[in-house]
Structure 1
């Protein structure tokens, strides 16, 4: 959630507290403030147990950053230097896995790939996905193959009339060929 979203949410909770003090029921609070009834009831419970102070935000949720502000500055500088400066010379791409490895090497702190991604976004970077292409790839040969060979070997799709409009209803057993499984099931009982 963004900082603006958190501020709005806290403002709404404070409005809810004012309404609770005026003896307005949680269902009416939910309607007036355009929030779910579940949120209104949870806020009402918090308000009853701890007053307005119980509804004050405690800051963003989640675990705190394991790198100090100084380490974050260093990490940003390392990312600015590029991957080649840190041993990844095959391409100039910062992947989240590489950033997690870099954090482990430089700061001796373990980060998951998703944690490294969040940290990169926090620093204004985004992880890149390297294009896996062969260096010797011949684009002209690929285009020629797609236009000539692929058109010949590609199997045609199913004709439009071969599909059923209803996937939930089985075909009638009476319409099956005599040697098909279950064909005898349609015979009337005597």
Structure 2
């Protein structure tokens, strides 16, 4: 998180599920000690509120479909390739947010395709 904060030069907002490591006293202390970090805790068993679930869904339908990975490096490359494709499609990211009922602060225009 610190690296992301330094790279972006601004505050970080996290949406966390109820994973036990997210709920520890040490993690709460860490969040409290860093004013640039804001955490919103999602309710238990509410994947429909987590925009990351939409990203995982896109990945499962893309480069991870019907693939037998030979090693961890193969899986890592496939994940990076899939995330890179999503990164350049802000409309997909906006859709993942919209599905949760969250509205993106800035709507990115969908790139237009030139007629062939």
Give me the TM-score of the superposition, normalised by structure 2. 0.27
Which structure has more helix as a fraction of its residues? 1
Give me the TM-score of the superposition, normalised by structure 1. 0.19
Q: Which structure has the larger Rg?
A: 1
Which structure has more strand as a fraction of its residues? 2
